[in-house]
């Protein structure tokens, strides 16, 4: 494989050779035995990853935004009202999708870098009736992780009829999400973040209740995104609705096998441990976290610069030193950088990244205690 820069943006995350090799397998017929095995295998693995026995997964060519549309359009009746619980950029995208499809909706918005509290959600549900409630598990712009399990408890108490949708694009496979036990109705996600697969797949897992709601709706505002057109294919990959992206599916199947080989509990704990080590390492170099300490995500860090460092210059030099991080989005542009640490990242890659960060800081004439960042992450990641 060609050498490339270490991609530490909040998705796509680095893709390991085993998954890239699966992607490079021959392009087979979408109704071949290979595809039957690999699509069915990926669907089964997805059920394990979100802890469901009765949920129905869908894997459809597209990106996370398509997964958002699929979730909303298939469970929303003409008369329904959707509550978007938003902690930033991707919650706002949910509201934009509602607007685009003329879905009635309200938005419960937190300050950027924070999350809506379960009490705030409860108060809103006491005031207004909603048939669908949507939240973002981790907002990739702010690095804030929502208390999804607590939201589910509030919804079950206050609005037991409402369907609960979780945007897990920056969480599923890296942070625990339990469809059955927590009573989530749709988890939507994508291949390119915590699964460590290449971008190109929209993924939705519908609960039994959500499937029943779709079946009751006479019509939905979707054609390609209508899950009832895809259901026969998911039940039997020998059927055709629209040509699946076979190579992406081969790669995604391999990526889900890797997730399960590591073990879910171990994987979630590793994401936590890496996140905490990376933040400690950056703090030791004078950086600080943008996100409120009470809701830091395990999958990415949004990092404020110390005095004297310019965003564009820092990221450009860091990229020259072999590591790519992302800039801020929306109101944080120029003030922060975003460090993705999800998927199949290794201890060695993190140490390499800190080495590159220190090299970058030296070249920018920034004063710091040389070796502190590398030593901090090295010692915290020794286990």
Ligand X SMILES: Cc1ncc(COP(=O)(O)O)c(C=O)c1O
Which residues sit at the interface with ligand X, rule CB under 6 A?
A: 11, 63-65, 68, 90, 136, 139-140, 167, 169-170, 190
- Answer for the pair 376, 281: CB distance below 8 angstroms, yes or no: yes
Minimal distance, residue 36 CB to ligand X, in Å: 26
CB closer to ligand X, 90 vs 287: 90
Phi, psi at 231, each rounded to 5°: -55, -45
CB closer to ligand X, 244 vs 286: 244
Minimal distance, residue 333 CB to ligand X, in Å: 16
Minimal distance, residue 241 CB to ligand X, in Å: 21
- Which residue's CB comes closest to ligand X? 64
CB closer to ligand X, 65 vs 363: 65
How many Å apart are CA 10 and CA 278, to the nearest integer? 14
CB closer to ligand X, 169 vs 278: 169
How many Å apart are CA 167 and CA 136, to the nearest integer? 5
Minimal distance, residue 83 CB to ligand X, in Å: 17
User: What is the distance of C-alpha 376 from the center of its chain?
Assistant: 27
Beta-carbon neighbour count of residue 26 at 10 Å?
9
User: What is the distance of C-alpha 275 from the center of its chain?
Assistant: 15
CB closer to ligand X, 28 vs 61: 61
CB closer to ligand X, 169 vs 323: 169
Give the bridge partners for 337, in sequence order.
303, 327
300-304/56-61 β-pairing:
unpaired
Beta strand residue intervals within 131-229, DSSP E: 132-136, 138-139, 144-145, 163-167, 186-190, 201-206
Minimal distance, residue 190 CB to ligand X, in Å: 4
How many Å apart are CA 58 and CA 267, to the nearest integer? 23
Locate tokens 């690999």: which residue? 38
Minimal distance, residue 136 CB to ligand X, in Å: 5
């Amino acid at each position: 494989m060609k050498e490339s820069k270490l991609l530490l943006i909040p998705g796509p995350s680095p893709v390991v050779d085993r998954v890239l090799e699966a992607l490079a397998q021959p392009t087979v017929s979408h109704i071949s035995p290979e595809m039957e095995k690999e699509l069915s295998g990926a669907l089964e693995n997805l059920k394990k990853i979100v802890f469901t026995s009765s949920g129905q997964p869908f894997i459809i060519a597209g990106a996370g935004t398509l997964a958002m549309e699929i979730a909303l359009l298939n469970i929303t009746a003409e008369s329904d009202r959707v509550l978007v619980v938003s902690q930033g950029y991707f919650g706002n995208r949910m509201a934009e999708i509602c607007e685009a499809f003329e879905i009635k909706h309200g938005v419960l918005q937190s300050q950027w870098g924070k999350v809506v509290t379960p009490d705030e959600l409860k108060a809103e549900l006491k005031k207004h009736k909603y048939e669908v409630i949507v939240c973002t598990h981790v907002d990739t712009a702010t690095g804030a992780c929502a208390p999804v399990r607590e939201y589910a408890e509030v919804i079950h108490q206050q609005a037991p009829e409402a369907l609960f949708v979780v945007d897990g694009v920056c969480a599923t496979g890296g942070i625990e999400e339990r469809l059955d036990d927590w009573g989530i109705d749709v988890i939507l996600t994508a291949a390119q973040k915590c699964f460590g697969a290449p971008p190109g797949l929209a993924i939705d897992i519908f609960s039994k209740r959500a499937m029943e709601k779709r079946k009751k709706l006479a019509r939905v505002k979707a054609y390609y995104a209508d899950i009832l057109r895809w259901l026969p294919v998911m039940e039997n990959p020998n059927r055709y609705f629209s040509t699946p992206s076979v190579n992406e599916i081969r790669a995604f199947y391999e990526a889900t096998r890797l997730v399960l080989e590591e073990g879910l509990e171990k994987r979630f704990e590793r994401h936590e441990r890496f996140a905490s080590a990376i933040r400690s390492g950056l703090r030791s170099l004078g950086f600080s976290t943008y996100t409120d300490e009470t809701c830091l995500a395990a999958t990415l860090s949004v990092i404020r610069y110390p005095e004297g460092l310019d965003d564009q210059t820092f990221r450009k030099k860091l990229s020259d030193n072999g590591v790519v991080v992302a800039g801020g989005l929306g109101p944080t542009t120029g003030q922060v950088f975003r460090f993705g640490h999800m998927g199949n990242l290794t201890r060695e890659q993190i140490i390499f990244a800190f080495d590159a960060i220190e090299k970058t800081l030296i070249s920018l004439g920034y004063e710091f205690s040389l070796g502190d960042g590398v030593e901090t992450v090295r010692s915290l990641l020794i286990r």
